[in-house]
A = this chain, B = another copy of it.
Amino acid sequence: MKLFYSPASPFARKVLVAAHETGAISRLETELAAVTPVAPNADIGAANSLGKIPTLVLDDGTGLFDSRVICEYLCSLAGDTALFPTSGDARWQALRLQSLGDGICDTAVGLRYELALRPEGQRWAEWIEKQRERLNRTFTQLENEIAGQVGTMTIGSAAVACALAYIDFRMPELEWRSGRPALTSWHETISARPSMVATVPEG
């Protein structure tokens, strides 16, 4: 299996974290692939018409995507029931938390494209402000609910950990730690896991 990824993508990092956590990493070939909404990559396009990373190409040539599907697939191959609890409240909590983490990433990546890729004269100040508000609301939401989850590694905590690290990497000016001690402490603990250490993007 080959994973198209970029070390800067928080969605790709979540996949790699899941692969490290479960041992699936040993079966995974990885290929660096840069891609933006205005610069598609032909290799990725052949496996995924949406042209996004991460995309996993199976041995029979099938392209599997997006990050959620790849994570669940790899975890299933590895016999995991911790990152993806099989049923009940534990499953919905993990998947809901993954949605919060992925939602931060969707918002932040969109903001990054607006601020770093879109021509300066075509940026929309009101939209930028509302996206920052959405991120701040979500950091506060996490502050209020994450303290009870210290030490539990699910696909949800992996997603949130990668999301916050992406904020540190691309928009530290948001200062997500400010006034959020529980989230700060939670992130410090989870960031020390080997799966997180092995997947830090280079600055």
Contacts and interface: CB of A to CB of B under 8 A. Distances in A.
Interface in A140-156: 140-141
Contact of A124 (B63, B72, B119): B119
A35 to B, nearest CB: 11
A65 B131 CA distance: 18
A49 B92 contact: no
A68 B91 CA distance: 13
State the main secondary structure of chain A at its contact with B. Answer: helix
Interface string A90-107: 001001101110110001
Interface of A: 37-38, 40, 45, 49-52, 62-66, 68-69, 72-73, 76, 87, 92, 95-96, 98-100, 102-103, 107, 118-119, 121-124, 126-127, 130-131, 133-134, 137-138, 140-141
6 contacts: A40-B130, A64-B96, A65-B103, A68-B99, A121-B122, A122-B124
